[in-house]
Amino acid sequence: PLHLSTKVVYPPLDPSTDSLRILHVLPGTGSQTIQCKLESARFVDNPNYSALSYTWGDPKPTKIIAVNGAKMEVTENLWNALHDLRHPDEPRLLWVDAICIDQRNTTEKNQQYAKNIGNAWIIQEIGVASRIQVHFGRQSLHWEVFLAAAKIYNEHTADVAVENVLKLDHLRESKVRDGESYALGSFLDTFRDSFCTVPLDKI
Taking CA atoms, 60 is separated from 77, 91, 104, 198, in Å, by: 10, 27, 16, 14
| CB contact at 8 A, 133 and 140 | yes
Residue-level pLDDT at 180: 54
Is residue 63 within 8 Å of 114, Cβ to Cβ?
no
Per-residue model confidence (pLDDT) at position 13: 92
**What pLDDT does residue 118 have?**
42
State the amino acid at position 51 in one-letter form: A
pLDDT of residue 176: 47
Residues 6+ apart with CB under 8 A from 6: 70, 71
Residue ranges for the chain with pLDDT beneath 70: 1-3, 113-130, 137-138, 174-203
pLDDT in tens, 85-100: 999 999 999 999 889 9
Say what the pTM is. 0.68
Q: Helix H segments across the chain?
A: 76-85, 97-100, 106-116, 121-128, 143-156, 160-178, 184-190
pLDDT of residue 201: 52
pLDDT for residue 182: 52
The secondary structure of 122-164 as a DSSP string is HHHHHHH-SS-EEEETTEEEEHHHHHHHHHHHHHH---HHHHH
